[in-house]
Structure 1
Amino acid sequence: MDARTPPRFDPTRVPHLLGSFAPVTEEVDVAELEVTGEIPAALDGLYLRNGPNPRFTPIGSYLYPIDGDGMLHGVWLSEGRAHYRNRFVRTPALEAEERAGRALWGGLESMIVPDAQQVGPELAGTFRDLPDINVVRHGNRVLALAESACPYRVGGGLETLGREDFGRALPAGITAHPKIDPVTGEMVVFCYALEPPYLTWSVIGRDGGVTRGPTPVDGVDEPMMIHDMALTGRYAVLVLAPAFFDLPAAMAGGSLLAWRPERGTRLVLIPRDGGPPRWAHDEAFWLWHTVNAYDDGPGEDAPVVLDFVQWSRLTVGQGPGTGEPVTGGLARARIDPVAGSMTRTLLDEARVEFPRIDDRLIGRRHRHVALATSTGRTELLPGEYDAVRFHDVRTGAAQVWDAGDLSVGEPVFAPEPGTDSDGRGYWLTFATDRTDGASWFLVVPAEDPGSGPVARARIPVRVPLGLHGSWLPADGN
């Protein structure tokens, strides 16, 4: 296919390029935001969120939530004041397109790549980097993360410092959801690939150095999409739903991903000490995001508990009214590492996504989970939510803050300094008004989340609905 003659594609008919998802192109810096209510003075740090935001009108195809240039949106908090800045993650492809003044790469499903005349020999025929999913801080690095590739390192002003391969120790990169052990300081990562080895895992030490290089996971013999993972004191936990990459279909104009429910869903426990993986199998379900996992006891044979948001099938880029109905909810799996078995129970049948806990409890027992949810009042797109649900897994009780005309994003926990885990602090998120496009930064108290925000900071530019973020305390902890 000639890179200059893309297939027929109308971006004005792609729901995830419109409304609250529509990309923005202006990079802005606002020294002090207008605040309604009062931002707690104890909050001192940066709330930083990433998300797909095409710099130019896409060509060929657009597959939400994977396609799109990364754009970081940051709110710095100090002494009750808020400062906002947004910046693109400046990849070589984005810079080449800026020089051309238009999109040169197509979306993932179109397979459109530029030639040497358009971008030079180094970029010709390559796929673009897409560090647009998540952002984390580890080992004194702030990393904008892609689905399965090298992340990009970001400076204190959100300037792009370049691709990060961890001293060439992880040349294939990592996925967008590493997990940082709050006890050891290690960041455990995984990476899937289109060629063998199809799945590897690695460990990055507290100081940012790689302590375990890419280690193949035995038992994975074809390319699969695996978006998230969980961590316990003993295991890295991965769920392998039957979403397989189908390159021949994509080359023929079909879907890049094939959902094959007859294959079922497998779960693998990867011992962090390097022992052989342990597998369990279940009926097919899809998982975008885990909540958390932990070892339910001290012994080697102790069960593993995994909380996650489950879906009845894979959903990528769909608008309302297309395909068969999709069901889901907050679920719990209990895995027996000796018998190789697992049982699933539904903790909450509400339609939810973007689950978060207090990150200081990763790999340990947790109690409170915050999730974006839908009230059902109006039809929303996949990935769009109009409320936040706060679930207590110990009691089963839930509180809901109804956001009204606001579409809310992923809630991120910011602990109150000097407090113990899983209790006092605040949930932070962006929200955009569906009626006028106005965007807000919200601060919701964890002790009474159903009461809604104690502070709203008006963002003077629209913040498109995006994906994942982090709270980065000023003290680095």
Structure 2
Amino acid sequence: MFAPVTEEVDAAELEVTGEIPAALDGLYLRNGPNPRFTPIGSYLYPIDGDGMLHGVWLSEGRARYRNRFVRTPALEAEEWAGRALWGGLESMILPDAEQVGPELAGTFRELPDINVVRHGGRLLALAESDSPYRIGAGLETLGREDFEGALPAGITAHPKIDPVTGEMVVFCYGLEPPFLTWSVIGRDGTVTSGPTLVDGVDEPMMIHDMALTRRFAVLVLAPAFFDLDAAMAGGSFLAWRPERGTRVALIPRDGSPPRWAADEAFWTWHTVNAYDDGPGADAPVVLDYVQWSRLTVGSAPGAAQDPVSGGLTRAVIDPATGSMTRTLLDDARVEFPRIDDRLIGRRHRRTALATSTGRTDLLSGEYDAVRFHDLETGASHVWDAGDLSVGEPVFAPEPGTDSEESGYWLTFATDRTDGSSWFLVVPAEDPASGPVARARIPVRVPLGLHGCWLPTEGGQAAEE
């Protein structure tokens, strides 16, 4: 399910079962880790691996497909050599000048393989914490993006775009000071604020995602610390230190100092959404996210003896006192939560998540159903995908409407019996009924990671 593919494919007309809604006009695009060559030393999913973009263009009920590697200098150097030259993050194998030339010698490879976003006229393939790569309309790689030199250290893979102001709020963590910064990129793609230091962070930490409210950027700082000394000695480059607890930073978007809350240790890969629960300056912040009892990547000591648990969780944070109350909303095994992106930073009702029905033959990180949770009533509905393993669901709204139920959930899925991959369209008004359309993808799409729906804007999303 997760194994990479090496062929770049174009298909002008996909075979469709059912009927693709004519209202869907645009591009569904997903990025994910896909090693071009067999890794050496180590391979740490989901962070390691070359980026590969998979795109399905929809128009007038028809679909076409294209996939392309994100072409970094490291990928091109390995193609020239015909083999992998860099090791995975846990092996610390770096090529020398004889292998890759003086500019790349001794450097870590860039990994723009996590997510993809469109903002300010740019389509960007995003890395865990590094410069993104700009992508053309035909998924060709245009080069590294540093926002006219304003963000040389890059950004992380989960920026959040405010649907009201059009601003994209980003953060970046580093192995050296400054360990954590945040920035604002205006609607036109110009950096308007930052990078601004987040006071109170004096060690390198891994922070995968963020959330946004009208007042705050919200960052969850779980106790996952980078340990380069351990990595150089053959150990894990990430250390889970639960005795340190988890902190949540509420970073005022007006530039004033952060406000902090703290609790017992937990880990989160992905937030659902956040919002201010009221109009006042001291209104609580509501944060929905997928919670895990510990870090779920790497080879931290004791992990095998400490089974992981989690589920869909809500935290309510008082910015004035720093108190935080967490409530488990759904204890099902879930990941990759998404909402209608038009509600980012505002009160939402519905979320969709990849989930498991309890089949015992699934791999770690593999899901065989989509769970649709109503956060107002607490009810959940599940579409069991049967022999299909599904990815992250992405919402495509019905044009001209503003309802969370008027639209479709889009995702890739792969059949565990024969390895065939499909593009699925699930109606938001009755998601448990399953797809109204399935388009056969001519190449297997490896499971993971993140994607987006890019409706046609002036002909630019769906045309090359």
Q: In structure 1, what residue type is equivalent to 2:444?
A: R
Q: Does 1:463 align with 2:445?
A: yes
Contact map agreement 1:360 1:421 (CA 8 A) in 2:
no
Rounded to whole Å, the distance in 2 between the matches of 1:346 and 1:45 is 36
SS of match in other structure, 2:269:
strand
- Give TM-score, length-normalised by structure 1: 0.95
Q: State the one-letter code of the partner of 1:234.
A: R
Residue 355 in 1 paired to residue 364 in 2?
Answer: no
Amino acid paired to 2:130: A
- The answer to whether the aligner puts 1:332 opposite 2:319 as a matched pair is no
* 1:92-107 equivalence runs, <5 A: 92-107=73-88
Shift of 1:323: 4.3
1:453 maps to which residue?
435
Cross-structure match for 2:391: 409
Residue from 284, 287, 299 that aligns with 2:265: 284
Instruction: Provide the rounded CA distance (Å) in 2 between the counterparts of 1:142 and 1:396.
Output: 36
CA distance in 2, matches of 1:331, 1:369: 12
Write the distance in 2 (CA, Å) between the matches of 1:427 and 1:384. 19
Unaligned ranges ≥5, structure 2: none
Residue aligning to 2:177: 196
Helix, strand or coil at the partner of 2:410: strand
Give the CA deviation at 1:113. Answer: 0.8
Q: Aligned-pair distance for 1:463? A: 0.5
Percent identical: 87
**1:387 aligned to 2:369?**
yes
Query: What is the SS of the residue equivalent to 1:212?
Result: strand
Distance 2:86 2:133 in 1: 19
| Shift in alpha-carbon separation, 1:31–1:317, aligned structure 2, 3 A | farther
Partner amino acid, structure 2, of 1:377 = R
Query: Do 1:234 and 1:295's aligned partners in 2 also have CA atoms closer than 8 Å?
Result: yes
- The amino acid across from 1:332 in the alignment is R
Q: Supply the distance in 2 between the matched residues of 1:175 and 1:61 (Cα, whole angstroms).
A: 23
**Aligned mates of 1:338, 1:182 — CA distance in 2:** 26
Structure-2 separation of matches of 1:157 and 1:307? 35
1:475 aligned to which of 450, 457, 460: 457
Distance in 1, matches of 2:111 and 2:227, equals 20
Measured against aligned partners, the alpha-carbon deviations of 1:430-471 in whole angstroms (never above 9, x if no partner) come to 000111100000000000000000000001110000200000
Aligned equivalent of 1:175: 156
What TM-score does the superposition give when structure 2 sets the normalisation length? 0.97
The equivalent of 1:427 in structure 2 is 409
| Contact 1:317/1:382, CA 8 A, preserved across alignment | no
The correspondence of residues 239-318 of structure 1 with structure 2, limited to 5 A, is 239-316=220-297
Matched position secondary structure for 2:76? helix
What CA distance in whole angstroms lies between the structure 2 residues aligned with 1:186 and 1:261? 35
The equivalences for 1:84-95 within 5 A come to: 84-95=65-76
- Residues 269 and 277 in structure 1, CA contact (< 8 A), matched pair in contact too: yes
Mapped to 1, the partners of 2:181 and 2:190 lie a distance apart of 17
Unaligned runs of 5+ in 1: 1-19
Report the residue type matching 1:139 in the other structure.
G
Question: Residue 146 of structure 2 is aligned with which of 162, 165, 170?
Answer: 165
User: Deviations for 1:398-454, whole angstroms, at most 9, x for unmatched residues?
Assistant: 100000111000000000000014220000000001111000000000000000000
Structure 2 residue 394 is the aligned partner of structure 1 residue 400: no
Deviations 1:240-295 (A, max 9, x none): 00000000000011101000000000001000000010000000000000000000
User: What's 1:436 paired with?
Assistant: 418
Q: Separation in 2 of the partners of 1:379 and 1:333?
A: 33
Q: How many residues are treated as equivalent by the alignment?
A: 456
Q: Tell me if the contact between 1:439 and 1:462 (Cα under 8 Å) persists in the aligned partners.
A: yes
The structural deviation recorded for 1:105 is 0.4
Counterpart of 2:79 in 1: which secondary structure? helix
Contact 1:238-1:267 at 8 Å conserved across structures: yes
Letter in 1 for 2:59: S
Match of 1:373 in 2: 355
Partner Cα separation in structure 2 for residue 382 and residue 279 of structure 1: 33
Distance in 1 of aligned mates of 2:411 and 2:305? 30
State the match for 1:3 in structure 2: none
- What is the distance in 2 between the residues matched to 1:131 and 1:461? 21
Quote the Cα distance in structure 2 between the aligned partners of 1:404 and 1:439: 14
Runs of 4+ with deviation above 4 angstroms: none
1:218 CA drift (Å): 0.3
Retained in 2: the 8 A contact 1:65–1:317?
A: no
**Contact 1:145 1:151 (8 Å CA) reproduced:** yes
Q: How does 1:24-173 map to 2 (within 5 A)?
A: 24-173=5-154
Asked if structure 1 preserves the Cα contact closer than 8 Å seen for 2:404 and 2:428, the reply is: no
Q: Secondary structure at the match of 2:75?
A: helix
* Amino acid across the alignment from 1:462: R
Q: Distance in 2 between matches of 1:392 and 1:49?
A: 25
Deviation at 1:322, TM superposition (A): 4.1
CA offset digits 1:351-372 (Å, max 9, x no partner): 1000000000000000010000
- Structure 2 letter corresponding to 1:339: T
Contact 1:259 1:314 (C-alpha < 8 Å) held by counterparts = yes
Which residue type is aligned with residue 31 of structure 2?
Answer: N
